């Protein structure tokens, strides 16, 4: 009996797998794959609260080897009382499945698992390899998830020839957007020091605010460059300014600002850090800045993988998808270091929102596209 992706999605939503908790989701997937002759490896990294459970499952030992990657961890549900249905209920109403992770990204996981199992039953003489890399750490620090599974895969000769990540890439309808790259991400925390004093005697104090404003000027404009051929402009966002000062009549001794820069392939994290430090030094020396980045930009060049996915999308939807590098980061940035990778999944309009939901029609269509992708890779072009 074929695996119903909608049924699998409902079962996965019912697992409260908020990062980094597995919540039973990986166990459900493993229980589905083992009877279908997948060799499953539970790969757990980290200790204590940082421990993350991951799953690598493979069918076949020969090439070509195609991997489907994704994550079962989800962001917190927020105010559960604001949901129409319980956020971890997997309720179906008017042709839609409601629940946290329905779009990002348990829906695409259910779709490609269902498609792969169906395809293998039809193509019993298949000689290549199909695998799944499923992590529980994408929505969190992304330290003990995909990046460490890839290290294990490399050590055990499991690196695929190409990979598809099922992130919700589409804007309005299935087939409108295929992501072939992502911008990098740089976080910063800037602390400027002044001298505390009474607001009635400002000449006896040094307010850190004017200094901070001048230091943040390059980030206040939003765009840092004009973009490149394949990427939109690098943009900066200030996410927090705080003094911890509860008194109305005290000039604080320090102010802290947090910011994020999403940068294209004309930049890199070190280059941006050097630029900002140089700018800060010109304004004042009495500051401290901390940077953190584990996401450099990547771009998958035109080739077989992009062609296969585009052909599968057009076969089932008649659309020619836009090739995009917009949005945030994803685990594809780690995979890109090992093999060609693209992202294609559901429509992302409700991801991370209250009442996150996906239409059953979209789940079934996405399943058809993934099934056709396997045809494109293993049958049509051979």
Catalytic residue list: 73, 138
| Residue 372 CB partners (closer than 8 Å, separation 6+) | 311, 312, 315, 316
Q: How is residue 355 written in tokens?
A: 């009442």
Our CA angle for 255, 261, 267, nearest 5°, is 130
Per DSSP, 35 falls in state: G
C-alpha span between 190 and 255 (Å, rounded): 8
CA separation (Å) from 370 to 39, 55, 179? 21, 20, 15
Distance CA 321, CA 310 (A): 7
* Residue 134, phi then psi, degrees to nearest 5: -120, 125
Instruction: Find all residues with CB under 8 Å of 18, minimum gap 6, and list them.
Output: 73, 74, 75, 76, 77, 100
**What is the end-to-end Cα distance of the chain in Å, rounded?**
29
Contact assessment for residue 76 and residue 94, using Cβ atoms and an 8 Å cutoff: no
The burial of 164, by beta-carbon neighbours within 10 Å (0-12 exposed, 13-18 middle, 19 or more buried), is given as buried
Query: What whole-number distance in Å separates Cα of residue 298 and Cα of residue 326?
Result: 11
């Amino acid at each position: 009996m074929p695996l119903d992706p909608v049924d699998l999605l409902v079962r996965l939503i019912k697992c409260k797998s908020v990062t980094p908790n597995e919540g039973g989701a990986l166990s459900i997937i493993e229980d589905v794959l083992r009877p279908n002759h997948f060799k499953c490896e539970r790969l757990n990294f980290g200790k204590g609260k940082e421990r993350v459970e991951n799953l690598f499952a493979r069918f076949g030992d020969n090439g070509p080897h195609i991997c489907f990657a994704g994550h079962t961890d989800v962001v917190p549900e927020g105010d559960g009382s604001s949901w129409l249905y319980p956020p971890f209920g997997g309720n179906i109403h008017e042709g839609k499945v409601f629940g946290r992770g329905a779009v990002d990204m348990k829906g695409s996981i259910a779709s490609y698992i269902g498609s792969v199992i169906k395809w293998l039953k039809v193509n019993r003489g298949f000689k290549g390899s199909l695998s799944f890399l499923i992590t529980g750490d994408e929505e969190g620090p992304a330290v003990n998830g995909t990046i460490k599974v890839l290290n294990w895969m490399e050590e055990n000769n499991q690196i695929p020839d190409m990979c598809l990540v099922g992130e919700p890439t589409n804007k309005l309808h299935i087939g409108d957007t295929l992501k072939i790259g992502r911008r990098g991400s740089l976080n910063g925390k800037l602390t400027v020091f002044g001298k505390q004093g009474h607001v009635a005697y400002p000449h006896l104090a040094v307010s850190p605010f004017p200094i901070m404003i001048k230091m943040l000027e390059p980030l206040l404009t939003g765009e840092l460059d004009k973009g490149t051929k394949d990427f939109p402009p690098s943009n900066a966002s200030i996410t927090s300014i705080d003094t911890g000062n509860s008194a109305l009549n005290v000039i604080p001794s320090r102010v802290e600002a947090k910011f994020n820069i999403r940068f294209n392939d004309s930049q890199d994290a070190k280059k941006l850090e050097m630029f900002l430090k140089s700018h800060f030094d010109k304004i004042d020396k009495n500051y401290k800045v901390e940077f953190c980045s584990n996401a450099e930009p990547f771009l998958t060049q035109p080739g077989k993988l992009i062609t296969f996915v585009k052909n599968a999308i057009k076969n089932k939807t008649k659309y020619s998808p836009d090739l995009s590098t917009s949005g945030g980061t994803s685990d594809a940035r780690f995979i890109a270091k090992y093999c060609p990778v693209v992202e294609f999944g559901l429509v992302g309009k409700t991801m991370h929102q209250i009442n996150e939901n996906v239409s059953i029609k979209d789940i079934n269509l996405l399943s058809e596209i993934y099934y056709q992708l396997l045809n494109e890779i293993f049958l049509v072009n051979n």
